[in-house]
Amino acid sequence: MSETAPGVRGGFPQIKPAEHAPAGLGRFVAAMRRLQDLAVCTDSSSWDAAAEHVERACAVLDGHQVPEGVAPGGRVLELPGLGHPLLPPWLVTDSGPDGVNMDGYFSRAHVGGNNAVHGGMIPLFYDWLFGMVVSTAGCPPTRTAFLHVDYRNVTPIDEPLTARGRIAGVDGRKFFVAASMTAADGTLLSEANGLMVRLLPHQP
């Protein structure tokens, strides 16, 4: 079989979107995001009491771990951030071979300074978007080879934003991806381009 044949997956597991969001997962992830926001903007004498609540939540979930591709977190398309609490709360609004559109926002937990989104959060978002672009286009599993971001304007928190990504070119196993993020008024906030490389049979 050719190393670029459609069925070649390397050592990458077959991971599909979850068929539905389990009851309570959306509520739990929203609470986790709120907790992350509060953790970086709170000055309180109640840290020990708050830690006890978090530790009890951990105890409720501990013992129910399942393998990658089985746990719903990170695979639920209808939940912001795919139901993954570390991804920013964005939703896929349109997807297909021509690209992926996403709407969402960043919150206090993503601040780098002066109420602007931390510069490192932007590449995290784009890497996620690039992965959605190639998977939606039906490409076999890829890994990020490089990701370049041009910051055009300060990215604000708690404001509606839009992003779009597309495959800009293909060269054998190489998928070149381009994307941009804009504010509600159309202001260009950042642009990104990257290279996603299709895995070889022996690559994880």
pLDDT band at 15 (very low <50, low <70, confident <90, very high): confident
Task: Identify the band that residue 7 occupies on the pLDDT scale cut at 50, 70 and 90.
Answer: low
In the chain, how many domains are there?
A: 1
Query: Residue 13: inside a domain, yes or no?
Result: no
What pLDDT sits at residue 66?
94
- Average pLDDT (86-96) is 95
Using DSSP, state whether 77 is helix, strand or coil. coil
Tens digits of residue pLDDT in 154-172: 999 999 999 999 999 999 9
Q: Please report whether residue 77 resides in a domain.
A: yes
pLDDT tens per residue across span 20-44:
889 999 999 999 999 999 999 999 9
Q: Which structural domain, as residue segments, surrounds residue 52?
A: 25-198
Cα separations (Å) of 21 from 65, 133, 150?
Answer: 17, 22, 35
Question: Residue 1: is its pLDDT beyond 90?
Answer: no
- Cα–Cα distance for residue pair 106/55, rounded to 1 Å: 26
203 domain-assigned:
no
Global confidence as pTM? 0.90
Residue 200 has what pLDDT? 86
Is 11 inside any structural domain? no
Is 35 domain-assigned? Answer: yes
Burial class (CB in 10 A: 0-12, 13-18, 19+), 25: middle
Both structure tokens of 124: 């995290």
190 located within any domain? yes
d(CA 72, CA 132): 17
| Mean pLDDT computed over 39-52 | 96
10, part of any domain: no
Residue 118: CATH number of its domain:
3.10.129.10
Residue 14 lies in a domain: no
Res 4 pLDDT > 80: no
| 164 vs 149: CA distance, rounded Å | 14
